[in-house]
Structure 1
Amino acid sequence: MSITRERLSPEESRSAALEAARRLLIEAGPQAVTLKAVAAEIGKTHANLLHHFGSAAGLQSALAHHIGERVTAGIAEAVRRARQGEADAGEIVARTFDAFDREGAGALAAWMILSGNRDALNPILESIHHLVDQLGQGHEDRPVHETTLWLVLAALGDSLLGEAMAGALDLPRDRARDLARRHLLTAAGLAEDGRSG
């Protein structure tokens, strides 16, 4: 779906390009995320995108940063709501799994790893590290880093192989999310209904 050409500020043009790149990544896979395809999506020229990102690698790095910010913002909000009693562990798991599936972090990670461009993942990893450091403040008695490790790895694996694996095992598609929610409740010392146990 191409957007008609309109005059955008440099920030708006860059933001539109990153959203188009994320959409292409999710809908058509990494091979679809080219400067030419992104430019066509937003009604700009290839040269215009080169001006904003410098190269295809620059676009990939900016996309990783963009997705990293979206991922951590959603997870941080879910954790904040859970700590205030407005949400439960299920929302934290859902936000994390959605970040890697629907938001495109899983596809981006696989793309960067398989293409040998692991450095492009640094913005996502740095965003998660910063988030975990923030979440751990005042909660030093909880295994925030370890919990984040297994939850992110579970969400990443589910985004890449979850549907096929659940199907092969004749399990419901969302079973991995259910298991992660139960594990998070157990790790937090909560009962199944979310109350202290």
Structure 2
Amino acid sequence: MSTVRARLSPQESRSAALEAARALLIEAGPQAVTLKAVAARIGRTHANLLHHFGSASELQAELGRYLSERITAAIGDAVVRARQGEADPREIVDRTFDAFGREGAGALAAWMILSGNRDALNPVLEAIHDLVDHLGAGHEDRPVHETTLWLVLAALGDSLLGESMAAALGLPPGRARDLARDHLLASMGLAAEPHRA
């Protein structure tokens, strides 16, 4: 019995592949994001994905771009709403840590670096740079670039080693996120809440 495949436009096919790649990244890590696995997930052939992406490293680069666009939009929204008093500034930290942890951006970045595919990080870095420039416009009195630097590095480190390092130091899981929230609130002149032991 043969299955009938729905005819997708090239853009729809790329979008489906990127969403499948994101799901594989979250479920099984960056090593699982292969052309063959993504093709199987969306009912396409390896050759079809090769046509759209060229190689596994190009698929990973596109996945990085796809994730960074989603992530920077969500973080940018949280920053704007926090500035307007419509959201708790802690949401900025939570969205950043979630992006690198639960959404898999940290594992993907590490995988790209360790596999020698550093150029694939350029779209991610450009998206962050564009967001920071946008958020910094009109707020030159605030250390937007410096805040972004420490927050991204903290979230990246936490996604890769945070839980293990906290356990090794006898600290509760999520302590790095708590510290990042405190640091952000302090940089905004707001009081941090006491932490549970």
- Smaller-chain TM-score bracket: over 0.9
Deviations, residues 122-146 of structure 1 (Å, cap 9, x unaligned): 0000000000000001100010000
**Equivalent position of 1:96 in the other structure:** 96
Residues 29 and 104 in structure 2, CA contact (< 8 A), matched pair in contact too: no
Counterpart contact for 2:69–2:127, Cα < 8 Å = yes
Specify the code of the residue in structure 1 equivalent to 2:6.
E
- Gap regions ≥5 residues in structure 1: none
Q: Percent identity?
A: 79
CA contact (8 A) 1:26 1:107 kept: no
Aligned to 2:184: 184
What RMSD over aligned residues (CA atoms) do the two structures have, in Å? 1.3
Q: Structure 1 length as normaliser, TM-score?
A: 0.92
Number of residue pairs aligned between Structure 1 and Structure 2: 190
Matched position secondary structure for 1:103: coil
Q: Following TM superposition, by how much is the alpha carbon of 1:6 offset from its aligned partner in structure 2, in angstroms? A: 2.5
The residue type equivalent to 1:91 in the other structure is: E
Amino acid at match of 2:81: R
Runs of 4+ in 1 over 6 A off after TM superposition: none
Q: Distance in 2 between matches of 1:63 and 1:140?
A: 32
| Structure 2, unaligned runs of 5 or more | none
Indicate conservation of the 8 Å contact 1:5/1:42, yes or no.
Answer: no
Secondary structure of 1:66's aligned partner = helix
Displacement of 1:192 after TM fit?
Answer: 2.9
**Aligned residue for 1:172?**
172
Q: CA deviation at 1:5?
A: 3.8
* Distance across 2 between alignment mates of 1:98 and 1:15: 22
In the alignment, is the contact (CA less than 8 A) between 1:75 and 1:95 conserved in 2?
yes
Kindly indicate whether the alpha-carbon contact (under 8 Å) linking 1:89 and 1:185 is maintained by their aligned counterparts in 2. yes
Q: Which residue of 2 aligns with 1:75?
A: 75
User: What SS class does the counterpart of residue 88 from structure 1 fall into?
Assistant: coil
Say if 2:131 is the partner of 1:139. no
